[in-house]
Amino acid sequence: MWKTAIEDAVAKTRRNIESFGDLFPHVGEGGGDYKLNPNTDWTDGFWSGMLWLCYEYTGEAVFRDAAVRTVESFRQRLAANTALDHHDIGFLYSLSSKAQWFIEKDEAARQLTLQAADVLMKRWRPQSQLIQAWGPEGDPANGGRIIIDCMMNLPLLYWAYQQTGDTRYRDVAVTHAEKSRRFLVRGDGSSYHTFYFDPETGDSLRGGTAQGYRDGSTWTRGQAWGVYGFALSYRYTGNAAFLDTAKRLARYFLERLPRDYVVYWDFDAPVDADTKRDSSASAITSAGILELLEHLPSNDPDRDFLENGLLRSMRGLIERYATIGEPDAQGLLKRGSYSVRGGASPDDFVIWGDYYYLEALMRMDRGLCGYWYE
């Protein structure tokens, strides 16, 4: 099953290279082809990551050449400081230039990635001890705001510490991860999408959401970011609290799988025939559980539950949501949601869903685990 799905994904990615040219896919438009942009969105690294995965899997120059072109695009983006005033720098550069460093040990790619880490460090707010998610420093709405997505951007900083020995990168990443653990993750293993702090004093204010059903609900993609992000923070730090947090988030997620094993967009949204799914949340969580399982002993009491949930989720994606057998489809997974709350591509292809689906498949089949760590 995994092999068939991978071959289908590789074939679609190969065909998309010509279709996309020098542009980057973002989300589908009304269930059709991908909207493209000239490397100006937070999602553009996922296309690079797919190209590098396909190159590692096949060894074909067509994938490497396309991936290298994206890295050059990211070099130009950083030089021009285009649309980098946010915390998603790790999504952009971990899967593009850092991937090239991992695969080819290209020194220019390494230097570009370290420069990207410095851009992310500019989001650090020492007064409130957090990485500000969105907006400029001092922004009245976002000045003290964190979101759970940032857990997947922290590996860029952990890696920069390993490369340079500069403890500032590690200290910022660990402090932000600990704050996220304490305030974004609830006692029952569910999560807030976002949390607000006083930007001057750092005092905690309230949890909320920008994407979920309501402030106190659990947005499934946010939960997925947490599963994978905390597992990666454990890999880099060895802090058992991060491993326990990843397990609790994963258990909460898997305990609420619907009958076809692919989640709705929010665990608290009323379910009827029109309720939107988010296949990307299931793909991210599957990739995150694969990471989590690497750190659990064979006799861990949660291991069987997590393994079974992973298999159910991946089979659900392949059998009911993948575009296998649809050769003209640009995307790999149907029924991803960008923003149900905002009415933006609520039931479409989403490039991050495609990336994590492919990463999970390749990890299961070949041990290729993406570009979050060496």
Contact of 243 with 165, CB cutoff 8 Å: no
Rounded Cα–Cα distance for residues 225 and 87 (Å): 14
Residue 294's identity, in one-letter code, is: E
CA nearest to 14, candidates 44, 43, 51, 53: 51
Q: Which residue has the tokens 């269930």?
A: 31
Rounded Cα–Cα distance for residues 51 and 67 (Å): 5
328 burial type by CB count under 10 A (0-12 exposed, 13-18 middle, 19+ buried): exposed
C-alpha dihedral sign at 342, 343, 346, 351: negative
Set 33, 44, 88, 348: catalytic member: 88
Based on the residue annotation, tell me whether 88 is a catalytic residue of this protein: yes
Q: Assign residue 189 a region: left if phi > 0, alpha if psi is -120 to 50, beta otherwise?
A: left
Residues in a beta bridge with 24: 37
Please state whether beta strands 130-131 and 145-147 pair in parallel, antiparallel, or not at all (unpaired): unpaired
Rounded Cα–Cα distance for residues 100 and 282 (Å): 27
Contact of 234 with 283, CB cutoff 8 Å: no
- CB neighbour list of residue 67: distance below 8 Å, 6 or more residues apart: 48, 51, 52, 55, 96, 99, 100
**Virtual CA dihedral for 365, 259, 338, 88, nearest 10 degrees?**
-50
Q: How far is residue 334 from each of residues 142, 149, 270, 330, measured CA to CA in Å?
A: 32, 22, 21, 10
Set 8, 33, 41, 149: catalytic member: 149
Rounded Cα–Cα distance for residues 141 and 127 (Å): 16
Rounded Cα–Cα distance for residues 371 and 358 (Å): 13
CA nearest to 356, candidates 327, 333, 330: 333
Catalytic amino acids? 88, 149
